[in-house]
């Protein structure tokens, strides 16, 4: 396997999901409250989780269809658990959207390069499972997600 992937059925139109994936306000609503996002192709997006951070170059934005990022910088702060703190650099994150029925969206998520041989694999899969399957889903369907903030137990 050369990627982590999942498919989500979301009870909201693709335009709402696209906004949650492509705007700073949207990303703050489900992933992390500490981010800066330049929502243009070639722009950058930096996401902070306490001392951990990721920076991505926005590779592609296709309204209501796709968002693709390339990780250009990372520091994963988990002393004692991880020795390799930048394993995401060079990996690609892609969100593909398709209509599902009259009002729903099928989201296909793929993190190309997040492989089982990476030291952070289990931690990152658990993170994606939470932030996509729970927080993003809640955010686009109800308006209230569970983004990372300083009240998380590992926010130092």
- Domain membership of residue 80 (yes or no) is yes
pLDDT in tens, 45-90: 999 999 999 999 999 999 999 999 999 999 999 999 999 999 999 9
Domain with 75, as residue range(s), is: 3-142
Task: Please compute, for residue 90, the number of CA atoms within 13 A of its CA located in the half-sphere on the CB side.
Answer: 4
- Domain membership of residue 151 (yes or no) is no
Residue 12 sits in a domain whose CATH number is 3.30.530.20
The total domain count for the chain is 1
pLDDT in tens, 10-36: 999 999 999 999 999 999 999 999 999
State residue 150's pLDDT score: 72
**If you write DSSP's letter for every residue of 114-155 in order, what string do you get?**
--TTSTTHHHHHHHHHHIIIIIIHHHHHHS----B-TTSTT-
- Domain membership of residue 95 (yes or no) is yes
- Domain membership of residue 100 (yes or no) is yes
pTM (2 d.p.): 0.94
β-pairing, 3-10 with 52-62? unpaired
- Domain membership of residue 91 (yes or no) is yes
**Mean pLDDT across 119-139:** 96
């Amino acid at each position: 396997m050369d990627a982590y992937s999942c498919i989500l059925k979301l009870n909201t139109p693709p335009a709402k999901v696209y906004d949650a994936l492509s705007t700073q306000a949207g990303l703050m609503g489900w992933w992390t409250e500490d981010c800066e996002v330049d929502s243009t192709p070639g722009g950058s997006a930096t996401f902070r989780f306490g001392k951990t951070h990721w920076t991505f170059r926005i590779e592609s934005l296709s309204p209501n269809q796709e968002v693709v990022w390339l990780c250009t910088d990372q520091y994963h702060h988990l002393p004692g658990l991880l020795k390799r703190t930048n394993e995401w650099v060079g990996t690609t994150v892609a969100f593909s959207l398709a209509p599902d029925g009259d009002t729903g969206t099928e989201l296909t998520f793929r993190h190309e390069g997040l492989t089982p041989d990476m030291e952070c694999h289990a931690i990152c899969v658990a993170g994606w499972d939470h932030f996509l399957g729970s927080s993003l889903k809640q955010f686009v369907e109800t308006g209230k997600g569970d983004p990372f903030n300083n009240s998380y137990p590992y926010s130092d």
